Amino acid sequence: PTLGLDLVEEILELKRTRNAVILAHNYQVKEIQDLADFVGDSLGLSYQAARTDADVIAFCGVHFMAETAKIVNPTKNVVLPDLEAGCSLSESCPADKLAAYLEANRDKHYYVVAYINCSAGVKALSDVICTSGNAVKIVQRVPADRHILFVPDQNLGAWVMEKTGRKMELWKGNCYVHVEFTRSAIERIKTEWPDAPVVAHPECTYAVRLLADEVCSTEKMITYCKESPAEAFIIVTESGMLHRLRREIPGKTFIPGPTDQCACADCRFMKMNTLEKLHAALLNLEPEIVIPEPIRARAEQPIRRMLEWSA
């Protein structure tokens, strides 16, 4: 514990000398959430990154999130504690495959809406970006005469189609963590907690979404659970969210959504970041996010459009 405390103090000291800001996603380990300047969902983190005046952004999340921060801050130093912290969803839509698909379907004149969980290369091929927190609003703003290609999450895309009534073509990608939640596993936990509303992330499958009382982004889960009269909630998303909810709403009970194998679901990529790696990143100013300028500049346009449309 003493070492842990020293480490936290050293990180905070480095943060001051580097004039750094520490941004953390809701799925980060609790030690990181507890010392971050801001903890939130992809949307909140994008806004924080766009408005910071720090010289260094230590991004505790996965690669595409740190990349997004770099795209809107080309002159700042953006570090990710573990460069291997990727995302299965982002991997499911490589930029070269998307480029080939768009080329082969030029006649369709697609309007590409990309969920933020994708690489800078995919963002550079897109018209607008969205997150789970604003996807419905963003899709509603797309000109009605355009045919939408939604990449890379088919579950989130299907949910957005239901909410907006807008037809879209969906890229067949998914998040390996959220598709682990099954109908039978959620039905089982519901019998143990019959009064607890089920709150699920839109990356979950349709079968699981059908059992949910609320489907929303991680940040909106906080608001929903705060405002609901219920005392206990079944939270169907990555396990880090439970720490955020318990810290923010200490009087209520949060039960992790189980999978068929486990009592909760961890994202192995999100969990790669540790206090030790964060310390090293602030000390060495690496691993640093580097993006070729033409890709960065092209990827910035759809991000700026998102920030404007969802303001």
Neighbours of 105 (CB within 10 A): 13
Does 175 bind ligand SF4 (CB under 6 A)? Our answer is yes
Six-digit token string for 172 = 């067949």
Cis peptide before 143 (omega within 30 of 0): no
Q: Is 285 left (phi over 0), alpha (psi -120 to 50) or beta?
A: left
DSSP 282-299: HHHT-SBP---HHHHHHH
Six-digit token string for 139 = 């899709």
Q: Which of ligand 13P, ligand SF4, none interacts with 26 (beta carbon under 5 to 8 A by kind)? A: ligand 13P
Using CB under 6 A, pick the residue from 46, 117, 154, 205 that binds ligand 13P: 117
The DSSP output letter for 88 is H
Does 68 bind ligand 13P (CB under 6 A)? Our answer is no
> What residues pair up with 255 in beta bridges, in sequence order?
234
The site map against ligand 13P for 21-60 (x = CB under 6 A) is -----x--------------xx------------------
CA nearest neighbour of 214 among 195, 232, 233, 229:
233
Does 203 bind ligand 13P (CB under 6 A)? Our answer is yes
Does 176 bind ligand SF4 (CB under 6 A)? Our answer is yes
- Binding-site size for ligand 13P (CB under 6 A) equals 12
With contacts defined by CB under 6 A, name the span among 9-17, 72-80, 126-134, 245-253 that binds ligand 13P.
Answer: 126-134
Three-state DSSP state, 144? coil
The DSSP output letter for 125 is T
Q: Which of residues 37-76 bind ligand SF4 (CB under 6 A)?
A: 62
Q: Which of ligand SF4, ligand 13P, none interacts with 98 (beta carbon under 5 to 8 A by kind)? A: none
Does 269 bind ligand SF4 (CB under 6 A)? Our answer is yes
Nearer residue to ligand SF4 within complex by CB, 14 or 24: 24
Q: Which of ligand SF4, ligand 13P, none interacts with 264 (beta carbon under 5 to 8 A by kind)? A: none
Does 238 bind ligand SF4 (CB under 6 A)? Our answer is yes
> What residues pair up with 24 in beta bridges, in sequence order?
39, 60
The span from the CA of 151 to the CA of 123, in Å, is: 10
Does 205 bind ligand SF4 (CB under 6 A)? Our answer is no
Q: Which residues bind ligand SF4 (CB under 6 A)?
A: 62, 87-89, 117, 175-177, 203, 238, 267, 269-270
